[in-house]
């Protein structure tokens, strides 16, 4: 007999406004979680660089996907696209009992020339650091233009959704892994989550569930796809399809937190396909350089808490050669994250639209985390 839903609460509908695809997910938030509905649609080429076209695609497609799957209720939890989000670490003078919010706003205004009044700003305490006898508070700042937050809220409400929360990508990632990693030995383990998307790549470093670092890089899948298209003289859509059909992570894992790939720092290079060879380009080299600087920054700030593992997320993480190259260069053991490895199917669930549950899906970590996130609106 399948699980019934009459007495079970369901999560809000997670809506991930991704730069490669729009994703919707709803689960029954138990342990293990049960899949109720999932749907996705890939952004067309014209919607990837034009914000007006992107919002029109989201609006039209969101309505269609909601009709195609058995989503329950209208409560929704939204993501804030990473390409619209400022993520930065900064240190402020530690003052016990003093709110760091005004200090963060002063930093945005004076050092970055940004008006805090036009931003939605969140900051997270990363811990105390000492430098030359002085004590500082390390803070992770996440800020989004207020007008964009309002635009996405209005879009969802026009699609008849009751928005109960909105969260950044780093927050959603950590919330998702809070459900997947609940072992006591993970409480202080330092893990880096690398979300390689289409428009940007996002690095989040956390000690347990405490975010200690976050940053985005303008080096991601669309740049690689354009380089492939130029080299092979094909359209962007044809290049994307060729890259997505190249070497992808294969196999599955019963581990609820990770699947498929283990890449030790000294591992031998895997055999390379044509698609993987095309990833050995300036975009990847730039990304590796940036990641190396971030790892060194974290080591200087928190030498007593070294980064122990890297978890690859995002649609581009299906390219195992790319992930293994990054892991070897960083000399950090790595895994491929797959939140769907933890999901159970229930009788009410239909076959998802736009996603293959028989393959690892590292690109679904954000919507999975949104399903477990707190209502904040």
Q: Tell me the DSSP string of 99-157.
A: -SHHHHHHHHHHTS---GGGEEEEEEEEEEEEETTEEEEEEEEEEEEHHHHHHHHHHHH
Write the DSSP symbol of residue 3. P
Residues forming beta bridges with residue 309, ordered by sequence position: 191
101: tokens are: 């919010």
Fold of 13-371: Nucleotidyltransferase; domain 5 (3.30.420)
Q: Tell me the DSSP string of 181-206.
A: ---GGGSS-EEEEEEE-SS-EEEEEE
pLDDT of 293 reads: 98
Residue pLDDT, tens place only, 278-315: 445 789 999 999 999 999 999 999 999 999 999 999 99
Instruction: Please list the ranges in the chain whose pLDDT falls under 50.
Output: 1-6, 247-279
Total-model pTM: 0.89
| CA–CA distance, 80 with 144 (Å, rounded to integer) | 8
**Which of 86, 85, 80 shows the shortest CA–CA distance to 156?**
80
134-146 residues labelled b (16+ CB within 10 A) or e (exposed): eebbbbbbbbbbe
How many other CB atoms are found less than 10 A from the CB of residue 350?
12
What are the structural domain ranges in the chain? 13-371
């Amino acid at each position: 007999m399948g699980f019934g839903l009459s007495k079970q609460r369901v999560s809000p509908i997670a809506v991930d406004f991704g730069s490669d695809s729009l994703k919707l997910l709803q689960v029954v938030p138990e342990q293990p979680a049960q899949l109720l509905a999932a749907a996705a649609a890939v952004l067309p080429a014209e919607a990837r660089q034009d914000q007006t076209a992107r919002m029109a695609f989201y609006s039209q497609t969101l309505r269609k996907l909601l009709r195609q799957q058995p989503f329950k209720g209208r409560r929704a939890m939204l993501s804030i696209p990473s390409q619209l989000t400022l993520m930065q670490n900064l240190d402020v003078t530690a003052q016990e009992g003093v709110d760091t919010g005004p200090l963060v706003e002063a930093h945005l205004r004076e050092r970055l020339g940004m008006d805090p009044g036009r931003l939605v700003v969140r900051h997270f305490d990363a811990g105390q650091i000492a430098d030359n006898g002085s004590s500082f508070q390390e803070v992770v700042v996440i800020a989004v233009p207020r007008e964009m937050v309002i635009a996405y809220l209005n879009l969802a409400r026009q699609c008849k959704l009751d928005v109960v929360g909105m969260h950044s990508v780093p927050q959603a990632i950590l919330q998702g892994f809070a459900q997947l990693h609940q072992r006591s030995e993970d409480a202080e383990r330092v893990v880096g989550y690398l979300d390689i998307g289409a428009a940007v790549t996002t690095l989040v470093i956390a000690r347990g569930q405490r975010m200690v670092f976050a940053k985005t890089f303008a080096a991601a899948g669309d740049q690689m796809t354009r380089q492939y298209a130029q080299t092979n003289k094909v359209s962007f859509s044809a290049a994307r399809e060729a890259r997505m059909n190249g070497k992808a992570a294969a196999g599955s894992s019963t581990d609820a937190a990770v699947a498929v790939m283990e890449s030790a720092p000294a591992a031998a290079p895997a055999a390379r396909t044509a698609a993987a060879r095309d990833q050995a380009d300036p975009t990847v080299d730039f990304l590796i350089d940036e990641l190396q600087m971030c790892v060194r920054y974290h080591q200087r700030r928190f030498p007593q808490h070294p980064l122990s593992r890297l978890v690859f997320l995002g649609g581009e993480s299906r390219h195992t050669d790319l992930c293994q190259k990054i892991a070897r260069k960083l000399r950090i053991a790595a895994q491929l994250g797959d939140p769907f490895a933890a999901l159970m199917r229930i009788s009410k669930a239909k076959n998802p639209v736009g996603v293959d549950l028989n393959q690892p899906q590292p690109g679904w970590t954000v919507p999975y985390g949104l399903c477990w996130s707190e209502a904040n609106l």
